[in-house]
Amino acid sequence: MLGNPNSRPRKRLGWRPIIRRVHGWLALATGLVLLVILLSGVALVFQPELDKLFHPSLYKSTPSSNPITPTEAIRAVKEQEPDFSAVLALARALREQIDWDDVRVRTEDSPFARAFFTLVHGLGIVDPNRSLIRN
């Protein structure tokens, strides 16, 4: 005979319920890690838009009653930090309106002005053959 007919069948526990429970917890932990990676990536991709959203005062410009001329802008470049980015943006925007010969004459004593003119010629903002005074 195979067994006692009055005995209840033994419940077989096996590995399946344990594996299912471990799988569920590992999936939850992995999902949380992926959520953190996703949110940090979204923050990096939309950083400029988030900056504008959270710091709108940094992106407002106020018109000045006393704007500087290109000559003053070139002279304002500091010896410690010769950052030409703002001056180059101004030169690009006003390239057709600036009398480059006059600017060169007014700033000829400045080594930073010479560096600036080297940049504007190299970047093609001003044609070196067209608008410079030759002595």
More confident site: 45 or 3? 45
- Average pLDDT on 19-29 reads 94
pLDDT at 135 over 90: no
Predicted local confidence at residue 39, as pLDDT: 95
Are 70 and 94 in contact, with CB atoms under 8 Å apart?
yes
Asked if 49 and 84 sit in the same domain, the reply is no
11 falls within a domain: no
Predicted local confidence at residue 6, as pLDDT: 65
Asked if 67 and 48 sit in the same domain, the reply is no
Predicted local confidence at residue 134, as pLDDT: 43
What is the pTM (predicted TM-score) of this model? 0.36
130 falls within a domain: no
CA distance to 36, 85, 124, 132, per residue, from 74 (Å)? 47, 11, 18, 16
Asked if 25 and 53 sit in the same domain, the reply is yes
Amino acid making up residue 8 = R
Q: What is the pLDDT of residues 37-55, one digit of tens each?
A: 999 999 999 998 998 999 8
Domain with 72, as residue range(s), is: 62-122
More confident site: 87 or 41? 41
Q: What is the pLDDT of residues 89-118, one digit of tens each?
A: 878 887 778 888 888 888 888 888 888 888
Total domains in the fold of the chain: 2
Domain boundary pick from 58, 87, 111: 58
